[in-house]
A and B are shown apart, each in its own frame.
Chain A
Amino acid sequence: MSHIPENLRYTRTHEWVQDNHDGTVTVGISDHAQDLLGDMVYVELPELELDVDREEEIAVVESVKAASDVYAPVSGKVVAVNEKLNTAPELVNKDAYDDGWLFKIRMSDSAELDELLSAADYQETLESEDDEED
């Protein structure tokens, strides 16, 4: 079973979101997502200062197996990207929730945060995905 920290919020497209309580959020992909994709070989990060809409494709994670879009979980402006991933994309596999973060967004509407999934809700979506696979 994949690891789903209680203190984070999630999307149906497998991003995790950490509220930094300063108007910004940190975003990555979930442990479940990295496990499905397999070894990461390339991460395409968004440009700094990019204005993004919620659910817009703004990054790509590529594993040995496939390329997968990463969506902005909230609207706002990209204020930081994890440049370590340019040379060490495997951090997404090794430490999806910490060193493997992708980018930070300064939110334009913090109410959007409340619409994200809780850890329990996300767990449920994974279980229903499993049911579909069986």
Chain B
Amino acid sequence: MGNKTPLYDAHLRAGAKMVDFAGWTMPINYGSQLDEHHYVRNQAGMFDVSHMTVLDLKGADTRAFLRYLLANDVDRLTSAGKALYSCMLRPDGGVIDDLIVYGMTPQWYRMVVNAATRDKDLAWIRQQASAYAVDLSERRDLAMIAVQGPQAREQVQRLLGDAAASAAALKPFSAVMLGDRFIARTGYTGEDGYEIMLPAATADAFWEQLRAAGVHPCGLGARDTLRLEAGMNLYGTDMDESLTPLDCGLAWTVALEPADRDFIGRAALLAQQAGGLRHRFVGLVLQERGVLRSHQAVYIDGREAGVITSGTFSPTLKESIAMARLWVLAGEQCEVDIRGKRLPARIVKPVFVRNGKAVAG
């Protein structure tokens, strides 16, 4: 039996099908993954993401430490509560994990890392932090609920009472503490919404309030199709320690400027850049019926040219889409080997849906 989140009982009450995920017993769906996907695109859905690892870093050196630890630069966080997406790299540039860091005060940063990478992340961060005055604490006392969709913010605000105005005023990609709740306007679906961290003991009641207001519980299945449509990478699938951010479409998350910031992996990325890129990270749209899946081989002009890292049937677009890593750098058309048949696919930017609308490839 895996770890249970504070919402475990709520999932059973809602009829969830539970699966093991990174050592946690989590809802994969509550009946229909497709319906859940559409709720998020068209109305509002909620996800239990309490399995994710929430870390608070506090102390005088926190900013300096994170500028060393992360490939993106926390100095880009210019106002309180702003969020930054970053990779955490090995010295050779390999991606240890991707994460979000919120700069709450000059001496308090909150970081959310993946559940599956918790142990190695903590070991790595502790090892790197030894030379810094940083206090690291894991917030296992918090639950996290992501409420996502065009109606998500409004639905949440209605339940916040006096705090509603502050939540409404939140800018995209920023967070605020409201009482004992940490409310962030972030997510992993391509829709507007909030990610809410709250004391574990209050999570069940808040979840039920949301449910009563008409926010639909959504499982990890829908979370995956939503993030893939939105062109958001998944650690372990689209990137891992054998790849650098430049290999997997995450160059935009690496801050090489200012040049005097010496973060872990910087030298390796500069060397890779100087040597010419190895990979092109792209989106694919299948042009015939079928479903693209991870590990399928991609061909350009008859030659093996890459591999699909994530693939699915897009419930919004009603066609199959994928993210792929190609080592052939030119071409706009390819073929994908689907169980021995080569089917044509279009190469596009790896973003398919944003705010409910198809992004023209």
Contacts and interface: CB of A to CB of B under 8 A. Distances in A.
A42 B291 contact: yes
Contacts of A90: 34
A42 B225 contact: no
Nearest to A39: B34
A65 B260 CA distance: 46
Interface string B266-310: 000000000000000000000001110100000000000000000
B68 interface: no
Contacts of A64: 33-34, 221, 225, 312-313, 315
Among the interface residues B290, B291, B312, which one has the most CB atoms of the partner chain A within 10 A? Answer: B291
Interface in A44-78: 44, 60, 62, 64-67
Contacts of B312: 64
Given A39-B34, A41-B291, A42-B313, A67 B29 contact: no
B32 interface: yes
Contacts of B315: 41, 64
Interface in B26-43: 28-29, 32-34
A42 B34 contact: no
Contacts of A39: 32-34
A67 B291 contact: yes
A44 B34 contact: no
B13 interface: no
Contacts of A60: 339
A62 B313 CA distance: 9
A64 B312 CA distance: 7
A58 to B, nearest CB: 13
Q: How large is the interface on A (under 10, 10 to 19, 20 to 34, 35 or more residues)?
A: 10 to 19
A38 to B, nearest CB: 6
Interface string B309-324: 0001101000010000
A90 B312 CA distance: 16
A90 B32 CA distance: 11
Interface in B313-345: 313, 315, 320, 339
B339 A41 contact: no
B289 A42 contact: yes
A44 B291 CA distance: 10
Contacts of B34: 39, 41, 64, 90
Among the interface residues A38, A39, A65, A86, which one has the most CB atoms of the partner chain B within 10 A? Answer: A39
A4 B320 CA distance: 32
Nearest to A62: B291
B358 to A, nearest CB: 17
Contacts of A41: 34, 291, 313, 315
Contacts of B290: 42, 44, 62
B39 to A, nearest CB: 14
Given A39-B33, A42-B289, A42-B291, A65 B221 contact: yes
Nearest to B313: A41
Interface string A62-105: 10111100000000000000000010001000000000000000
A42 B289 CA distance: 8
Nearest to A66: B293
Contacts of B291: 41-42, 62, 67
Contacts of B221: 38, 64-65
B320 to A, nearest CB: 8
Contacts of B33: 38-39, 64-65
A65 B33 CA distance: 9
A110 B293 CA distance: 38
Among the interface residues A42, A66, A90, which one has the most CB atoms of the partner chain B within 10 A? Answer: A42
Interface in A4-48: 38-39, 41-42, 44
Given A39-B33, A41-B34, A64-B312, 13 more contacts: A38-B221, A39-B32, A39-B34, A41-B291, A42-B320, A44-B290, A64-B221, A64-B315, A65-B28, A65-B221, A66-B293, A67-B293, A90-B34
25 contacts: A38-B28, A38-B33, A39-B32, A39-B34, A41-B291, A41-B313, A42-B289, A42-B291, A42-B313, A42-B320, A44-B289, A44-B290, A62-B290, A62-B291, A62-B313, A64-B221, A64-B312, A65-B28, A65-B33, A66-B293, A67-B291, A67-B293, A67-B339, A86-B289, A90-B34
State the 8 A-B residue pairs at the shortest beta-carbon distance, nearest first.
Answer: A41-B313, A39-B34, A62-B291, A64-B33, A39-B33, A42-B291, A39-B32, A38-B33
